[in-house]
Amino acid sequence: MKIKSRSLSNSEGQDNSRMQIQQVEDKIEKFLERKFRVSRSYSTKMTYRSHIVRFGEFTRIRYNLVFINVRKIPDEKTLENTIVHELIHMRFPYISHGKRFNKLVRRGLCGKIFTPYQK
């Protein structure tokens, strides 16, 4: 009989500790929701967008990294075009968008291999 009472007290203690852990997790979740609330105003979205663009330019120049938001790309063909487009930007940083740039993108999509860029 004493063994059962001990096991009941242990399980009650475990239940209390689980409840405390759950309460702490709930508090943390509520704090993070308040802290990282997404603004819906147009000006704030444009500010975020400009910072992301500048950060993308910085990482491309400094670390040869390109960020592609795959959530906004609807299908595989568009993704392939975007990847080749960004690779052409990295290989030919001195060429702006235009006829010549589009011609290079089409060549890249056909499988042409370009020599590496020499700074």
pLDDT digits (tens, 9 = 90+) for 34-81: 776 766 788 887 888 888 888 877 887 788 888 888 888 899 999 999
3 lies in the same domain as 29: yes
Q: How far is 102 from 107, CA to CA, in rounded Å?
A: 9
**H or E element that contains 79:** helix 76-91
Instruction: Provide the mean pLDDT of the chain.
Output: 81
pTM given for the model: 0.56
**Do residue 74 and residue 118 come from a single domain?**
yes
Structure tokens at 53: 């663009």
For residues 61 and 17, membership in a common domain is answered with no
Q: How many domains does the chain have?
A: 3
Mark whether 86 and 118 lie in a shared domain: yes
57 and 86 belong to one structural domain: no
Q: For residue 10, what are the domain limits?
A: 1-37
3-state class (DSSP) for residue 66: coil
What is the pLDDT at residue 9? 52
